[in-house]
Each structure stands twice: as C-alpha cells, then as structure tokens.
Amino acid sequence: MDNRKRIHISLVLFAAVFLIGVIGFKLFGGPEVSLLDCLYMTAITISTIGYGEVVDLSGNPAGRVFNILFIILSLGTIAFAVSSITAFIVEGELKNLLGRRRMEKDIARLNDHYIVCGSDETAQTVIRELLQTQRDFVVVEPSKEKIEKIASLGSFLYVLGDPAEDAVLQKAGVDRAKGILLLLPTDEANLFVTLTARSLNPKTRIIAKGIDLKSHDKMKRAGADSVVSPSFIGGMRMVSDMVRPAVVTFLDMMLYGKERVLRVEEVEVGKGSALIGKTIQESALRERTKALLVAVRTAGTKDYEFNPPSDRIIQETDVFIFIGSPETLKAFEKVAAGERT
C-alpha cells in the first residue's frame, strides 16, 4: 500500500471514529446532552487533552466502558494517521526532492550525451538500446506518469517538462549534448523542437521521427540531420525478412542476443591518435580492441572503403565502421582519440 492511499484511509477512519464518538456520547449521555456537548466530548477524547467531562458518565458503567474503548480506538486511529502522514512527507516528498537534486547534479556532469524527447513505443525502443549499449542519455517528457510507466526499462536520468521550452532542454544539457532524438507524438511537435534545439546548439546531431513522409524535407530545412519514418522502416524490415531471412536473423541475433551485446559501431580517428600514419596491420586494431573492421570512411569525404586492405594507411578523421561490444567501442575510442598504448 502506497503512502497516498494510507493517508486517504486514515482520513476516512478518523471521520468514522469521530462520528462514532458523537453518536456514542449522545446515546450514553441521555436526552439532556446537546449535540455540541457530544462534539466537544469527542474532540477532547480524541485529542487526549483531558479537559473536564461535559457529558457525565460517572454513574453510567456502560458509558464508561464505551469511553474506554473509544479512547483505545482513537489512539490507534491517530497513530495510523500520524505514521501515514510522516511516511508520506519523509519517504515521498523528501525522497523526491533529494532524488531530483541528485539527478540534476548527475545531468550537469554529463558531456557528449544524448537527449531523448518523448516516451512512446518508439522512444522506449531507443531508451532500451541506449541502456543496453551503455550510452549516457537524458529523457525529456512532460508527464510524470509516463516516466513512471517506462521506469521498468532501467535506471536513467530524466527531466520533467515540455521539450519545446528552451529552459527544459537547457536542464537536459542541450548545449553539451552529442545528439537529440525527437520522438514526440506529432510531426508539428518534432518540427518545433527541431527549431528550438538547433538554435540552442548548432553543432549537435538531431534525429527526428517523421510520421508523414511529406514532412521530412521541412524538418531537414528546420535543422534535423536525419528524419526517420517508423512505418517506412517497418515496411523495409518486413520485405527484408521475406527476401533475405538469413541476414535478418543474423542482425536479430546481434540486436537481441542476451548472452553478448554486439552492434555495428563507428569511431572517428582523433587528432594526435597513435593510429595516424600506421597501416591497419601495424595498428593491430583487432588484437587491441577485439573489433571486427567492416569499412573505413575516408577522411574528409563520404566515400566508404569496405573490407579495407591491411596496408591501408590510417589518416586523421578517418571513420572506422566495425562490429563489437560496448567494451570494444570504449577500447576503440581510447585508441582513436589520441591515447598512445
């Protein structure tokens, strides 16, 4: 039973006990006792103040027995009510306040993280993937009930508020965010937040959900780097499952395997990296990171070299495409970012 429900029950019990007291003192006090006297007698009995009895029960054994039982009942009700209110304040409000402050501090420490706006089924898939691949992210959602509903996915940071408001995105660290995923219910909402987010951080990558294919160009003009249609992706998945089932099964094993998490990842070679100027064979990437190299995007271009030869020389800002685990990604990032090992 949660604390809020306990408070409701305690209020109902208190009202019932008070009514029992008024009726009891009226019955045992006799016709000469007024309703005000009964109310007063009930109040001083429940509160244990101990003022003089306005309803004389000295010559009424049955009345005295009723009063004894009523005092015990009152004390029990008060104890339950006080414990419920205390638990609500201490465990509820105080916990929420401290938890909120702790979460704000954690968000303030984030850098190069992702912001997920929304909490629908598509957003839940995104959140689940970010959790599984150990990425830092913050969820922005106006409804606390929806946040509580998706809490079963795992532990994550969140900001309660409308992502269309500048202050809300700033609380989520939009100025330090590596990317923003817009998964709001309508194309209009995603378009407006695209404009807001792009104005707050011109460099961040924005991926928006586009329900209507006609809205995709507008979102890109507004600042979205990419627009994804769930219905289009769903259709492509269905036809792929029909014409290339082995490939789809292989990808499903990568995405949904429980024993080991494997993903197709990318890492850019940073300035000062120990990899620059070496060949792929000399870099010993597979031995050092356990990564399976799939392709390399040549520095400064959009050209991909699939299954690159071992004598290919690595350049600054080359982008490596490889298959690996979250641990592989971290190891690859350290090497590619400039750490000499």
Here the tokens at position 94 are 């105080």
Give pLDDT, residue 1: 59
Helix (H, G, I), strand (E, B) or coil at 179: strand
Q: What is the largest distance, in Å, between two alpha-carbon atoms of the chain?
A: 110
Residues 11 and 72 in one domain: yes
- Which amino acid is it at 120? D
Phi and psi torsions of 217, nearest 5°:
-65, -40
Is residue 152 over pLDDT 60? yes
CATH code for the domain of 303: 3.30.70.1450
213 contacts 232 by C-beta, under 8 angstroms: yes
What is the Cα–Cα distance from 57 to 44, expressed in whole angstroms? 15
Here the tokens at position 281 are 């064979």
Residues 118 and 100 in one domain: no
Residues 214 and 155 in one domain: yes
- The least confident of 60-64, 138-142, 200-204 is 60-64
Here the tokens at position 103 are 């979460």
If you ran DSSP here, which 8-state letter would residue 161 be given?
S
Domain range for 38: 3-105
CATH code for the domain of 13: 1.10.287.70
Rounded to an integer, the average pLDDT of 132-161 is: 93
Helix (H, G, I), strand (E, B) or coil at 279: strand
Q: Which of 181, 213, 228 is the last residue of a domain?
A: 228
What is the Cα–Cα distance from 150 to 86, expressed in whole angstroms? 28
Asked if residue 134 is part of any domain, the answer here is: yes
Asked if residue 34 is part of any domain, the answer here is: yes
pTM: 0.63
Confidence bin at 341 (pLDDT 50/70/90) = very low
The 10s digit of each residue's pLDDT in 254-304 is 877 767 788 889 999 988 888 899 999 998 888 888 888 999 999 888 889
H or E element at residue 167: helix 166-171
The residue ranking higher by pLDDT, 180 or 18, is 180
3-state secondary structure 194-263: HHHHHHHCCCCEEEEECCCHHHHHHHHHHCCCEEECHHHHHHHHHHHHHHCHHHHHHHHHHHHCCCCCCE
What is the Cα–Cα distance from 175 to 169, expressed in whole angstroms? 9
Give pLDDT, residue 47: 80
Residues 211 and 178 in one domain: yes
Closest by Cα among 58, 13, 16 to 67? 58
Q: Domain total for the chain?
A: 3
18 contacts 10 by C-beta, under 8 angstroms: no
103 contacts 78 by C-beta, under 8 angstroms: no
